[in-house]
Chains A and B, each alone.
Chain A
Amino acid sequence: MIRMLVPLGVFIALVIMLVAGLDTAEQRQLVASPLIDKPVPEFELPGLYEPTVQRSNDDFIGQPWILNVWGSWCWACRVEHPFVERLGREAGIPLVGFNWKDERDDALEWIARYGDAWTTHVVDFEGRSAIDFGVYGAPETFLIDHRGIVRHKHIGPIDQTIFNDLMRRIMELRSEAEAS
């Protein structure tokens, strides 16, 4: 009798392992970016409203800042937009929009419709800088400290919970910057 139960036991163990595997597959997108605690990648990108002006990573050094990857083609960016707007109002640090693989006209039209939540924008039409940032889907949100070190990355849209977490981290970065 007990011998007959062995295959059932093996089967149940297998199911448990597979279900656990499903869970890690869900969390895979939470795997920390290799960029965390490394200097922000160097970039030199044009602005959105002013395509002739180039902005580089050096322009943002000296205070913490947020880099938010978005595109007019990105459906989830619309979902997170209310929270991006709140970040812009409440974080008290620059919120840089990283307009990724987008047509300028589409981006401007999107902003006209949904509102410009960001302090400023950099435009990466070709997606080369995005590769340096390890961007693989929009929206993504990076927190960078006053020394220009990437401290946190969130992949996917911002919701209330993520917003609270980001605000807590931002306050930490701000007090770090003030202490130095």
Chain B
Amino acid sequence: MNNQNSGHAIGHLMGRQVDHRQQQLFSAAFLLLLASVLTVASTASLAGAISPYEFDNTVDEARFQSLSRELRCTVCQNQSLADSDAPLAQDLRRELYEMIMDGRADMEIRQFMVDRYGEFVLYRPPIASHTLVLWAGPFIMLLIAIAIGLNTIKRRRQALE
């Protein structure tokens, strides 16, 4: 009995030791993660700070930000102009900046890009006959899902009665 007790106590002690070590490991991992997140965040804000473009007003700056986010960097395919540091993306941002400073409208700027690179540059595809499935698809899927759900509920109710 006594033996068992002390064995239990040792086991408990060891358990606690392991717990402690695990905790240390966890906190180390957490700190590492935090450090990397902070590094990324700080370089990101740094990159924002050294943006070479200065705007007369905040409206133009906001337009620049939103347009560079909705235009695709064609060479990197899955990045927007805002995300990419590819030389072509830099050139296109410069073009975008100059067009905004020129007082060109958003529609004009989008058209400029589409005329040169095709509709592929637009992250937000226009609603047209050939993009109808794309835009309507999710809603059709939702309707189908609701119909199936309602049907299932109805059948289970009937089964209960």
Contact = CB atoms under 8 A, between A and B. Distances in A.
B87 A127 contact: yes
A114 interface: no
A33 B91 contact: no
* 7 smallest beta-carbon distances between A and B, as pairs: A136-B74, A134-B116, A127-B91, A136-B75, A34-B118, A134-B117, A137-B75
Given A128-B95, A131-B95, A136 B118 contact: no
A84 interface: no
B88 interface: yes
Contacts of B77: 28
Given A131-B92, A131-B95, A136 B117 contact: yes
B120 interface: yes
A127 B88 contact: yes
Main secondary structure of the interface of B (DSSP, over half): helix
B115 interface: yes
- Kindly state the interface size class of chain B when it binds its partner: 10 to 19
Most buried by A among B77, B95, B114, B116: B116
A31 interface: yes
Contacts of A101: 87, 91
Contacts of B115: 34
Interface residues of A, number: 18
Contact of B91 (A28, A32, A130): A130
Interface of A: 28, 31-35, 101, 126-128, 130-137
A28 B119 CA distance: 12
A132 B116 CA distance: 6
Nearest to A133: B116
B116 A131 contact: yes
Most buried by B among A28, A35, A136: A136
Given A28-B77, A34-B117, A135-B88, 6 more contacts: A32-B118, A34-B116, A126-B91, A128-B91, A131-B92, A132-B116
Contacts of B114: 34
B120 A28 contact: yes
A66 to B, nearest CB: 20
